[in-house]
């Protein structure tokens, strides 16, 4: 579990965009994988098999989100006890990032999360998403540019250097 959790979490986060949802999706995927371990024909393909389970679970969670509205956790309840001001800044920054990521198209969002947060290579991303390495690089470029524009309106797509 320790060997594959980070990859599973990166896949779930890239689809869901929220830390708590990604953690839930990973837990569900691990349970489902344990229940279906006998279905795995080639133990060498465990990682890919597990990541497909995570991906399908995350997509199912997205579909269930559409069916019911979820109230986001407010900043005060999410802040920790050590330094509430610092925790609140972290919570707000994370919320801004999650909001910006949610505005990306699914493929660029998955690529930027897997590459930048998950540490995946373009080759691994291409294999997981069924795209070329060149397309993975293109999605990463587009996602980063869009995120810069969303997070810092002075930066991004419409800015022209003098």
Pair 124, 58 in one domain: no
Residue 11 has pLDDT above 70, yes or no: yes
Report the range of poorest mean pLDDT among 45-49, 76-80, 115-119, 140-144.
76-80
Cβ pair 12, 29 in contact under 8 A: yes
Give the single-character DSSP code of 104. S
- Using left for φ > 0, alpha for ψ between -120 and 50, and beta otherwise, residue 121 falls in beta
When pLDDT is cut at 50, 70 and 90, the band that residue 145 belongs to is: very high
Choosing from 73, 92, 126, the residue where a domain stops is 73
Domain range holding 31?
1-73
Rg (CA), the chain: 17
35 plus 102 within the same structural domain: no
Q: Does residue 131 form part of some domain?
A: yes
50-93 confidence digits (pLDDT tens):
888 888 888 877 776 665 544 454 554 444 445 666 677 777 88
Residue 55 in any domain: the answer is yes
Threshold 0.75, pTM exceeds? no
Instruction: Report the number of distinct structural domains present in the chain.
Output: 2
Q: Do 93 and 31 belong to one domain?
A: no
pLDDT digits (tens, 9 = 90+) for 82-138: 566 667 777 788 888 888 888 888 889 889 888 887 788 899 888 888 899 999 999
Q: What is the DSSP letter of 156?
A: S
Boundary residue ending a domain (73, 98, 130): 73
CATH number, residue 123? 1.10.10.10
Boundary of a domain, candidates 48, 73, 98: 73
At residue 55, the pLDDT reads 87
> Is the residue at 6 inside a domain?
yes
């Amino acid at each position: 579990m320790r060997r594959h959790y980070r990859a599973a979490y990166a896949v779930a986060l890239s689809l869901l965009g929220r830390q708590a949802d990604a953690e839930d999706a990973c837990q569900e995927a691990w349970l489902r994988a344990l229940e279906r371990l006998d279905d795995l024909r080639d133990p060498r393909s465990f990682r890919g098999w597990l990541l497909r389970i995570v991906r399908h679970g995350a997509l199912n969670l997205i579909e269930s989100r559409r069916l019911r509205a979820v109230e986001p956790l407010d900043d005060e309840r999410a802040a920790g006890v050590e330094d509430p001001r610092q925790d609140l800044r972290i919570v707000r920054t994370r919320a801004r990032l999650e909001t910006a990521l949610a505005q990306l198209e699914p493929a660029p969002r998955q690529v930027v999360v897997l590459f930048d947060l998950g540490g995946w290579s373009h080759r691994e991303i291409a294999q997981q998403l069924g795209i070329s390495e060149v397309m993975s690089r293109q999605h990463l470029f587009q996602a980063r540019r869009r995120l810069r524009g969303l997070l810092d309106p002075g930066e991004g797509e419409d800015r022209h250097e003098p």
